[in-house]
Chains A and B, each alone.
Chain A
Amino acid sequence: MKRMPWHIAVFLAPAVLIYSVFSAMPLLDTLRLGFFTTNDAGHYSFVGLANYSTILTDPAWSASFWNAMWNNCKFFVIHLLIQNPIGLLLATLLSLKNLKGARHYRTMIFLPTLLSVVIIGFIWQLILSPLWGVSEGLMGKIGLADYFAPWLGQESSALITLALISVWQFVGIPMMLIYAALLAVPEDIVEAAHVEGASAWRIFWEIKLPLILPTLGLVTILTFVGNFNAFDLIYSVKGAIAGPNYSTDILGTLFYRTFFGYQSQIGSPTMGAAVATLMFLVILAGVGTYFYFVQRKLTRYEL
Chain B
Amino acid sequence: MQAFKLSARGAVLAALLVAGAAQAGTVTIESWRVDDKTLWEEVLIPAFQKKNPGIQVKFAPTAPTEYDSSLTARLTGGTAGDLITCRPFDKSLDLFKKGQLEKLDGKAGMENFPASAKVAWQTDDGKDTYCMPMASVIHGFFYNKKIFKDLNLKEPKTQAEFFAVLEALKKGGKTPIALGTADQWESNQIVFTNIGPNYWKGEEGRKALIAGKAKFTDPQFVAAWDQISKWTPYLSKGASAQTYADSQNLFAMGKAGIYPAGSWDIAYFNQQGLDFGAFPPPVAKAGDKCQISDHTDIGMGVNPKAKNKADAYKFLTWLGSQEFADLYTNKVTGFFSLSNHLISVKDPVAKQMIDWRKTCGSTIRLNAQIMNRGEPAMENELWNVSSQVLNGKMAPKDAAAQIQTGFAKWYKPQQK
Query: Does A60 lie within 8 Å of B376, measured CB to CB?
Result: yes
Query: Does B377 lie within 8 Å of A264, measured CB to CB?
Result: yes
Query: Does B243 lie within 8 Å of A125, measured CB to CB?
Result: yes
Query: Does A60 lie within 8 Å of B409, measured CB to CB?
Result: yes
Residue of A nearest to B238 (CB): A130
| A263 and B375 alpha carbons, distance in the complex (Å) | 14
Residue of B nearest to A237 (CB): B182
Interface size class of A (residues with CB under 8 A): 35 or more
Residue B387 contacts which of A244, A260, A262 (CB distance < 8 angstroms)?
A244
Residues A248-281 near B (CB distance < 8 A): 257, 260-267
Query: Does B387 lie within 8 Å of A243, measured CB to CB?
Result: yes
Query: Does B376 lie within 8 Å of A41, measured CB to CB?
Result: no
Q: What is the 8 Å Cβ interface bit string for chain B, positions 336-369, against chain A (1 contact, 0 not)?
A: 0000000000000000000000000000000110
Query: Does B375 lie within 8 Å of A244, measured CB to CB?
Result: no
> What is the total of A-B residue contacts with beta carbons within 8 Å?
118
A154 within 8 A of B: yes
Q: What is the 8 Å Cβ interface bit string for chain B, positions 66-82, against chain A (1 contact, 0 not)?
A: 00110010000000000
A8 within 8 A of B: no
Query: Does B384 lie within 8 Å of A241, measured CB to CB?
Result: yes
Q: How far is the CB of A163 from chain B (nearest CB, A)?
A: 16
Q: What is the 8 Å Cβ interface bit string for chain B, positions 60-99, against chain A (1 contact, 0 not)?
A: 0000010011001000000000000001011100100111
B194 within 8 A of A: no
Q: What is the 8 Å Cβ interface bit string for chain B, positions 237-277, against chain A (1 contact, 0 not)?
A: 11111110010011000000000000000000000000000
Query: Does A241 lie within 8 Å of B236, measured CB to CB?
Result: no
Q: Which residues in A have their C-beta under 8 angstroms from that of B368?
A: 264
Q: Which residues in A have their C-beta under 8 angstroms from that of B238?
A: 129-131, 149-150, 153
Given A244-B391, A260-B68, A261-B69; A130-B237 close (CB under 8 Å)? yes
Q: What is the 8 Å Cβ interface bit string for chain A, positions 141-178, against chain B (1 contact, 0 not)?
A: 00000000111111100000000000000000000000
A290 within 8 A of B: no
Given A131-B246, A260-B68; A152-B241 close (CB under 8 Å)? yes
| A32 and B322 alpha carbons, distance in the complex (Å) | 51
Given A153-B182, A241-B384; A261-B246 close (CB under 8 Å)? no
Given A41-B97, A246-B384, A265-B380; A151-B241 close (CB under 8 Å)? yes
Residues A35-49 near B (CB distance < 8 A): 40-42
Number of interface residues of B (CB under 8 A): 46
| A297 and B245 alpha carbons, distance in the complex (Å) | 53
Residue B181 contacts which of A130, A131, A153, A260 (CB distance < 8 angstroms)?
A153
A128 within 8 A of B: yes
Q: How far is the CB of A274 from chain B (nearest CB, A)?
A: 14
Query: Does B69 lie within 8 Å of A42, measured CB to CB?
Result: no
B383 within 8 A of A: yes
Q: Which residues in B have their C-beta under 8 angstroms from that of A238?
A: 182
Q: Which residues in A have their C-beta under 8 angstroms from that of B69?
A: 260-261, 267
Q: Which residues in B have their C-beta under 8 angstroms from that of A261?
A: 68-69
Query: Does B379 lie within 8 Å of A264, measured CB to CB?
Result: yes
Residues B203-240 near A (CB distance < 8 A): 236-240
Q: What is the 8 Å Cβ interface bit string for chain A, positions 110-126, against chain B (1 contact, 0 not)?
A: 00000000000000010
A85 within 8 A of B: no
6 smallest beta-carbon distances between A and B, as pairs: A130-B238, A153-B240, A153-B241, A150-B241, A265-B377, A150-B238
> Besides the contacts A40-B97, A42-B99, A132-B249, what 14 more A-B pairs have beta carbons closer than 8 Å?
A129-B238, A130-B236, A130-B241, A131-B250, A240-B65, A241-B384, A243-B182, A243-B384, A244-B184, A245-B387, A245-B388, A261-B68, A263-B383, A265-B372
